[in-house]
Structure 1
Amino acid sequence: MPTTPTREIVTLSGELHLVPVVEFEPGSYARQERPRPGGSGEEVPRDWQHYWEQSLADSGLHLEPLFSGSWFVPISRLTDPHVLRQMLRIKLETIDSAEPVELFDRVIAMSGGQVLFEGEHVVLTPRCCGDLSDLENWEAAARREPDGFWIGHPQVFASWEEPWLLLREEEPDRNGVHRAWHLSPHALAEAVLAARKEQEDFARRLIPLLSERFPPEMTHPLASVLSGLGMPEGTDNP
């Protein structure tokens, strides 16, 4: 007889951090076929870590993930020009030859998103189809405008329960528990500001590398979009 899912709400009273991350999908960087681990990242994290490291090494990348078995890398660690060039090569390989208007219609933010930490503890990671532009959803939630909150799927829903912002998972975990969290919108707002600064710094690091492949009038808008910040204000599609 199936068990009835239970709901567990945790109040996050510690310091909150929102860490922007990029997802490095190993198959995109691998240059040779290799067997995938026989189990999920939760079940065999070391096997997935080894598979991920070997795949990225094919493209000359040696990165430290957010945690063992993860494909997420904090953007604060993405400073090596070679790493950034390889990342941009994969992201833009099918659209380099597009006309400028087509290019900006087709380019979206880097896959990944933002990881919510309480102190050193990971609370929430981006879900499938999340990207760096999900920062705007965290910003809206911090303004107490949680409708439409999205960080990928399976869905995490956001709502307002005075005086807390409530985040709750759509699906139960392996133990049949629907996890949920109460957090202070003020604490989240501070975390969001820090995350935006990190993404702005990331965009600045991309500009000189994009300038190697695109005309000057395109590099700033491209860097902004790829970094999840959208088109800069007052900028028309080149």
Structure 2
Amino acid sequence: MKLLNTIEIEPLDYTENEYEFPNTSKEKNAKAWSDFWYKCVSDSNLESLKPIELGSYLIDIKNISDSELKTILQKELKGKDLSNAEEYVEPLFGGIVITENDKIIIEPTCCGDIANLNHWEKIEKFELNKWEQLWIGHPWVYCKKTNESIILSDYTEVNLGDYKELSEKYNFSRQELNSQIKSSRKDINAFEKQIRKVLVELEIENANKISKLLIGNK
């Protein structure tokens, strides 16, 4: 089992051309959506980025170069009042991905962002054998801690109180997941430093504050 910190690269944010969307779902033809994504991001010279799987928009932060990050940050910060960064700068969309045997088990959903690692870090404070919401966007999952395991539900948008019984979908070693969460925090901290370095190169004031806001470290 492995945790990845990812950010979402929305293809239309990186092109001014009007490319036609694939006339199919990602489930039916991931290759068509991958080709569409690469066509869009290539207009911003981001074609070397590699999503976590075919058809995905999620990129492992450890695989982003300084030059690629420069393009991403320029897009993210364009038109924002950086003199009032705490009001206008938000964490980058994306979040935690869990893989097991090279298969994606859990990935961030709509409105999930890179700061959601904060929620994963709170799991150790959960009461034993009690379901709690784990925010990854919507739909979200519920999480239960036992002495040895961390158990996750399937994706859902149903309130916990509306369940008569919540089914267990995934069961992870508590020790192994905790180790992966700590490793993810180190990766996020390194990414913050990388962001700050690029912001300084771009001669953006308040680089330290903005770098923290972009990853949710206020």
TM-score normalised per structure 2: 0.86
Among 59, 76, 85, the alignment partner of 2:70 is 85
1:124 is aligned to 2:113: no
Please state whether the residue corresponding to 1:67 is helix, strand or coil.
coil
Q: How does 1:89-238 map onto structure 2 within 5 Å? A: 89-95=74-80, 98=81, 100=83, 102-144=84-126, 147-171=132-156, 180-211=169-200, 212-215=202-205, 218-228=206-216, 230-231=217-218
Runs (4+) of structure 1 exceeding 6 A deviation are: none
Root mean square deviation, CA, Å: 2.0
Question: Which residue of structure 1 lines up, in the alignment, with residue 160 of structure 2?
Answer: none
* Structure 1, gaps ≥5 residues long: 1-15, 173-177, 232-238
Contact 2:6 2:97 in 1 (8 A): yes
What is the percent sequence identity of the aligned residues? 25
Q: Is the 8 A contact 1:141 1:185 kept in 2?
A: no
Structure showing the higher helix proportion among its residues: 2
Deviation at 1:179, TM superposition (A): 7.0
Gaps of 5+ in 2: 158-166
Aligned amino acid, residue 194 of structure 2: R
Map Cα deviations across residues 46-102 of structure 1 (whole Å, 9 max, x no partner): 0000000000001111111111000011001102x321111011211131xx263x3
Q: Structure 1: how far apart are the matches of 2:125 and 2:186?
A: 18
Answer whether contact 1:165 1:184 (CA < 8 A) is retained.
yes
Q: SS at the partner of 1:157?
A: strand
Give the number of the structure with larger relative contact order, counting CA–CA contacts within 8 Å between residues 6 or more apart.
Answer: 1
Question: For residues 134 and 55 of structure 1, do their structure 2 counterparts lie closer, same or farther at Cα, with a shift above 3 Å needed?
Answer: same
Q: Name the CA distance, whole Å, in 2 between partners of 1:86 and 1:56.
A: 10
The aligned counterpart of 2:164 is none
TM-score norm. by structure 1 comes to: 0.79
Give the Cα separation in 2 of the matches to 1:50 and 1:142.
41
Offset of residue 209 of structure 1: 1.7
**1:67 matched to 2:49:** no
